[in-house]
Amino acid sequence: MIASFALLLAFVSSASAQAPSQVHLVQGVVHGIRSDVLGRALDADLRALEGVLVCRFDRNNRNLYVEVGADSPMDEQSVRDVVETHGGTLTCYQRLPFGAQPFRLLDPRHCTQAPAVR
């Protein structure tokens, strides 16, 4: 419990060290990641991308939350590539300057994936 809190505190302090205008918020909905192990692996791989300050994937509500530096090259395709390596699909991708609008979780019911081609 204390280790989890310390890790969260480290994330928050690294993100807050940057001015809000220098940080972008990336959000999306990830479908198909059903285990905690895959969720943690997805987090780790996204955190390894250039410019990522904070990353969190919540398997229960399928929301992906990433804070990146404004100059980070992260784009929708780079996130999609990482998600797909773990067997998931990305929908409702958005990247906005941090604080440009109030934070809200994305609703997976409104972010449906395209039908699979078989």
Residue 23 has pLDDT above 90, yes or no: yes
pLDDT of 117 reads 42
For residue 21, what pLDDT is reported?
A: 72
Tell me which architecture the domain covering 2-97 has in CATH. 2-Layer Sandwich (3.30)
Please work out, in degrees rounded to the nearest 5, the angle formed at the alpha carbon of residue 108 by the alpha carbons of 96 and 72.
Answer: 25
C-alpha separations of 67 from 52, 83, 108, 109, 113 in Å? 6, 16, 20, 24, 23
Instruction: Spell out the domain ranges in the chain.
Output: 2-97
pLDDT band at residue 8 under the 50/70/90 scheme: very low
Task: Dump pLDDT digits (tens) for 46-105.
Answer: 999 999 999 999 999 999 999 999 999 999 999 999 999 999 999 999 999 998 888 899
Task: Quickly state the pLDDT bin for 111 (edges 50, 70, 90).
Answer: confident
Task: Calculate the alpha carbon distances from 43 to 52, 66, 108, 109 in Å.
Answer: 11, 9, 19, 22
Q: Using an 8 Å Cβ cutoff, are 29 and 94 in contact?
A: no
* pLDDT number for residue 19: 61
Residue 13 pLDDT > 50: no
Q: What's the confidence (pLDDT) of residue 17? A: 56
Q: Mean per-residue pLDDT for 32-40?
A: 93
| Sign of the CA dihedral with 28 first, then 31, 35, and 41 last | negative
